A and B are shown apart, each in its own frame.
Chain A
Amino acid sequence: MVRLDKLNVQGICKKIGGVDILKDVTFSLRDKEIKIILGASGSGKTSILNTIAGIIKPDAGKILKKGMEITDLDVNRRNIGFLFQDLGLFYSMNVAENIAYGLRVRNLDLKEINRKVNDIARSFGIAEHLSKFPSQLSGGEKQLVSLARTLVTGPDLVLMDEPLSSLDSFLRNSLRWYIKDIPRKFDVSIIYVTHDLADAEILGDTIAILHEGRIIEDGKKEEILNHPKNTATARILGYNIYEKDGKTYAIHPSKVLIGGPTVAKVIYLERGIKNNYLVDTSFGKLYFFSDQEFNGQTGISLENSIELGA
């Protein structure tokens, strides 16, 4: 039996105001997979989600969900959840009404709605907030309400548009593990767009790199993070990029080793949880961090560098 992907995006193109926002975007998503779409601001991340959700229509290309084409299907008929960057909570409704909204439009029985709302509120730890309005909630509680509202309707797929970007780092960390658990608990796949590498490292099963509206790399998380194939990907992943003998190399700041043949003069040393160094070498300026002390006398090793393609 052929196993169908949860989602197949095939050659999506979109032009807005004469500018190509998405160019031949193609990728697929398996069951219970979390795919991270990583890209700089303005690279088209939100437009991809809006296209998959049906909020904007592509100029060309196809979107298939479980093998069925949904490219022209109305947004409300796709059964795709969407967690917006600003969450999109309904400020005229309390938490219970917010969560119940999707169930009410599906004309579920009132008893069933109550049961589902209470169950999901308990599982997200927000049961005591059900009668509150969004304006009375903290940032983290709003996130949980938005997650509960999205998942209670049982979507096949959830799209997340940098939902953690406005939270402090403690909340971000704890909510990442919440989200990590969602595919297993709720039997959904997730597409999560972000420019935050920590989101990608913790949440992703696969990572797609989006650069100027085009997916330039797509693959397993470990492969993409550790072996970028081109300069744009390496830049997005925070690598140092330098040239040597007419070839381009990338090295991650954590992979620069103290002690080695490359002469490096310390420009800046900033002590924090680790020691952060900006050094000048014959290949240009490089940034790295280490637990060790470095004063420029021993040199550094760039042996972990990766050779990049075009």
Chain B
Amino acid sequence: MSRKISLPLLYVAAYVVVVVLVPLILLFFYSLHASLSPLFLKILAASVEQSFLQGSISTVLSLGIGLFFGMLLILYDGKFKSIILSLLLITYVMPGIIMGLGIISIFGYSSRLWEIIYGNVVYNSPMIAVLAYSTGTSTNLGEIYSARVLGAGDSQVLWKFYFRNSLRGGLLGGILTFILSFEGFSLPLIIGGPSYSTMEVIIYEFKNIVPTFTQFPFSNASLPGILQVLILMVPLYIYLSIRGNSRRNDSGLPLPLKRYSSFALTGLLLFLAFVLTPLFAVFLKYPIWMINLPEIVRRLQLPFSSLLGNTLIFSFVSTFVAFMLSIIITVYRPSTRNQFLILIPLIFSPVTLALSYFLVYGGHVPTAILIILIFTVILIPLNIRMLTQAVDTIPNSETGSSRTLGDSPLSSFFRIQLPRVKWEITTILSLMFITVMGEFSSIVTVYSPSTETITVGIYRLLLLRDLKDTYGLTEIFLIVIFISSYIINRMGKSGSVGQA
């Protein structure tokens, strides 16, 4: 006897149709009408080559560096560990456009491949280090001490236990690095120039600069979009299949290789200097007191309140909507298969997503709504992953108890699970808010003057070659990000988020 199809599966199916299938089908339909001129094919081939080249080199370098410093994170057992981890994650949430500006502030406008690679490595190696550290520290200390008792030396412990486990997280980060570098946008656009355009850049350019070739105006942007989706399906599938869990080791046993802690700290401080240089370079080159807001406004011909308002409103609304949808999806997630379907929007890169949503919904909804929709869809997979990981740390028996005592799934989530992961939720909200505030590639593809955000403003100033005001607006933006995340964290501390 087989049981009936569950309601959650229907929700998931509806979500997949609206969010993924319809945009994908329309994108595919448009791509069939692309004008395949020799020039277009040459540009497309060059962009595919650049995407692979930048993706591969960045992955190899980031993986080597990230794994090494991930091991140092494991070896370091001092009081600065949480500060170092937080600082490392700064680069990961830093908008790509700011990374690009940081690199320009160090090397000037030079348009070299290795500068893009450098940016990708700075951007991704901390993430790999943190993931490697995360899976590395899940090593069972009981196993390590058993090996020690049986005669294993420091190098064997490091290699056979810690490194093997770190490799799991590191490889996961490596796949993610390949995907992010392959679909790189901000760095190739800002510092790469035409020779180093990736597929993501040419999608944007065919959409915004040369949109009309045939009766289907965006067909030449759609073709590389579809091609990119197809190429990235493989690494995305591998990534989703092997994504790892990190579990803190709470056996109470001391760390076995504690004696290398100070050596590890020295290495980690050097790593921090390496990854934070582009961020600080911006502030060093143009100190904060040189910001000239009236001049920035004059150059952009837009009131600053409009830029700031758009940035905050889009970020707030999309974070809130994505969070609420993610809660519903997290609560009703019955199987791994359904989780996979939910994470399917990850196959869209931000520019492809923006283009496909523009094709489907652009003519029917105001740009502001379109932007919020795009931001929400970008955030949901990220949000669900983090929320699921946080909720899964709560013993099943607690949720089981509340359900057998008569509570509904949603109510049980709010009453039992949410208060238990209050801190994690605060961090998730803060991360999502920062991520979406810094989102550049999707909004630059679809924005209109009335929906311009600060990141687009920064880009426009850069196009005007007005570096002083570009850096001024960038610094204002970083201050806004800092204040916003501080407020969200304060809300979390006072409990209003946890009790939402």
Q: A60-B1, A86-B395 are in contact. Are A105 and B405 (CB under 8 A)?
A: yes
Q: A102-B405, A105-B411, A153-B406 are in contact. Are A59 and B400 (CB under 8 A)?
A: no
**25 A-B residue pairs with CB within 8 Å:** A53-B400, A53-B404, A57-B3, A75-B400, A76-B404, A76-B408, A76-B412, A77-B406, A79-B406, A81-B405, A82-B400, A82-B404, A84-B397, A87-B401, A88-B396, A88-B397, A90-B401, A90-B402, A92-B416, A101-B405, A102-B407, A105-B406, A105-B408, A106-B406, A149-B405
Main secondary structure of the interface of A (DSSP, over half): loop
Query: A76 and B407: CB pair below 8 A?
Result: yes
Q: Which residues of A contact B409 (CB under 8 A)?
A: 76
Listed residue (A53, A77, A92, A149) with the most chain B CB atoms within 10 angstroms of its CB: A92
Q: Is A201 an interface residue (CB 8 A)?
A: no
Q: Is A291 an interface residue (CB 8 A)?
A: no
Give the residues from 92 to 144 in chain A that come closer than 8 angstroms, CB to CB, to chain B.
Answer: 92, 101-102, 105-106
Q: Is B285 an interface residue (CB 8 A)?
A: no
Q: Which residues of B contact A106 (CB under 8 A)?
A: 406
| Contact-residue bracket for chain A | 20 to 34
**How many Å lie between the Cα of A118 and that of B405 in the bound state?**
18
Q: A60-B1, A92-B419 are in contact. Are A87 and B407 (CB under 8 A)?
A: no
Partner of B403, one of A72, A76, A92: A76
Query: B397 and A85: CB pair below 8 A?
Result: yes
Q: Which residues of B contact A53 (CB under 8 A)?
A: 400, 404
CB-CB nearest in chain A for B420 = A92
Q: Is A4 an interface residue (CB 8 A)?
A: no
Q: Is B295 an interface residue (CB 8 A)?
A: no
Shortest C-beta distance, A287 to chain B (Å), equals 31
Listed residue (B405, B419, B420) with the most chain A CB atoms within 10 angstroms of its CB: B405
Give the residues from 347 to 400 in chain B that come closer than 8 angstroms, CB to CB, to chain A.
Answer: 395-400
Q: Is B2 an interface residue (CB 8 A)?
A: yes
Q: Is B337 an interface residue (CB 8 A)?
A: no
Partner of A86, one of B1, B397, B406: B397
Q: Is B4 an interface residue (CB 8 A)?
A: yes
Q: Which residues of B contact A234 (CB under 8 A)?
A: none
Partner of A90, one of B1, B398, B403, B408: B398
**How many Å lie between the Cα of A74 and that of B332 in the bound state?**
13
Q: Is A227 an interface residue (CB 8 A)?
A: no
Residues of B bordering A, CB below 8 Å: 1-4, 395-409, 411-412, 415-416, 419-420
Q: Which residues of B contact A79 (CB under 8 A)?
A: 406
Q: Which residues of B contact A58 (CB under 8 A)?
A: 3
**How many Å lie between the Cα of A150 and that of B404 in the bound state?**
9
Give the residues from 58 to 75 in chain A that come closer than 8 angstroms, CB to CB, to chain B.
Answer: 58-61, 72, 74-75
Q: Which residues of A contact B419 (CB under 8 A)?
A: 92
**How many Å lie between the Cα of A221 and that of B35 in the bound state?**
82
Q: A86-B397, A87-B397, A88-B397 are in contact. Are A75 and B404 (CB under 8 A)?
A: yes
**How many Å lie between the Cα of A86 and that of B397 in the bound state?**
7
Q: Which residues of A contact B397 (CB under 8 A)?
A: 84-88
Q: Which residues of B contact A85 (CB under 8 A)?
A: 397
Q: Which residues of A contact B404 (CB under 8 A)?
A: 53-55, 75-76, 78, 80-82
Query: B406 and A102: CB pair below 8 A?
Result: yes
Query: B3 and A88: CB pair below 8 A?
Result: no
Q: Which residues of B contact A81 (CB under 8 A)?
A: 404-405
Known: A105-B406, A153-B406. 10 other contacts (CB 8 A): A58-B3, A60-B2, A76-B404, A89-B398, A91-B420, A101-B407, A102-B406, A105-B408, A106-B406, A149-B405
CB-CB nearest in chain A for B4 = A72
Q: A252-267 toward B: CB 8 Å interface, digit per residue (1/0)?
A: 0000000000000000
Q: A53-B400, A92-B420, A105-B411 are in contact. Are A76 and B1 (CB under 8 A)?
A: no
**How many Å lie between the Cα of A76 and that of B399 in the bound state?**
11
**How many Å lie between the Cα of A87 and that of B398 in the bound state?**
8
**How many Å lie between the Cα of A79 and that of B419 in the bound state?**
25
Query: B400 and A88: CB pair below 8 A?
Result: yes
**How many Å lie between the Cα of A294 and that of B7 in the bound state?**
67
Listed residue (A74, A75, A101, A150) with the most chain B CB atoms within 10 angstroms of its CB: A75
**How many Å lie between the Cα of A221 and that of B408 in the bound state?**
37
Q: Which residues of B contact A87 (CB under 8 A)?
A: 397, 401
Listed residue (B2, B404, B407, B415) with the most chain A CB atoms within 10 angstroms of its CB: B404
Q: Which residues of A contact B403 (CB under 8 A)?
A: 54-55, 75-76
**How many Å lie between the Cα of A89 and that of B1 in the bound state?**
36
CB-CB nearest in chain B for A85 = B397
Q: Which residues of A contact B400 (CB under 8 A)?
A: 53, 55, 75, 82, 84, 88
**How many Å lie between the Cα of A145 and that of B384 in the bound state?**
34
**How many Å lie between the Cα of A148 and that of B414 in the bound state?**
23
Query: A88 and B406: CB pair below 8 A?
Result: no
Q: Which residues of B contact A57 (CB under 8 A)?
A: 3
Q: Which residues of A contact B406 (CB under 8 A)?
A: 76-77, 79, 102, 105-106, 153
CB-CB nearest in chain A for B1 = A60
Q: Which residues of B contact A149 (CB under 8 A)?
A: 401, 405
**How many Å lie between the Cα of A81 and that of B403 in the bound state?**
10
Q: Which residues of A contact B415 (CB under 8 A)?
A: 101
Partner of A88, one of B1, B398, B411: B398
**How many Å lie between the Cα of A239 and that of B301 in the bound state?**
90
Listed residue (B4, B396, B406) with the most chain A CB atoms within 10 angstroms of its CB: B406
Q: Which residues of B contact A86 (CB under 8 A)?
A: 395, 397
Q: A227-246 toward B: CB 8 Å interface, digit per residue (1/0)?
A: 00000000000000000000
Query: B3 and A72: CB pair below 8 A?
Result: yes
Q: Which residues of A contact B408 (CB under 8 A)?
A: 74, 76, 105
CB-CB nearest in chain B for A158 = B404
Query: B402 and A101: CB pair below 8 A?
Result: yes
Query: A82 and B1: CB pair below 8 A?
Result: no
Q: Which residues of B contact A101 (CB under 8 A)?
A: 402, 405, 407, 415
Q: Which residues of B contact A89 (CB under 8 A)?
A: 398, 401
Query: B2 and A84: CB pair below 8 A?
Result: no
Shortest C-beta distance, A70 to chain B (Å), equals 13
Q: Which residues of A contact B399 (CB under 8 A)?
A: 88
Shortest C-beta distance, B81 to chain A (Å), equals 25
**How many Å lie between the Cα of A101 and that of B406 in the bound state?**
9
Query: B1 and A84: CB pair below 8 A?
Result: no
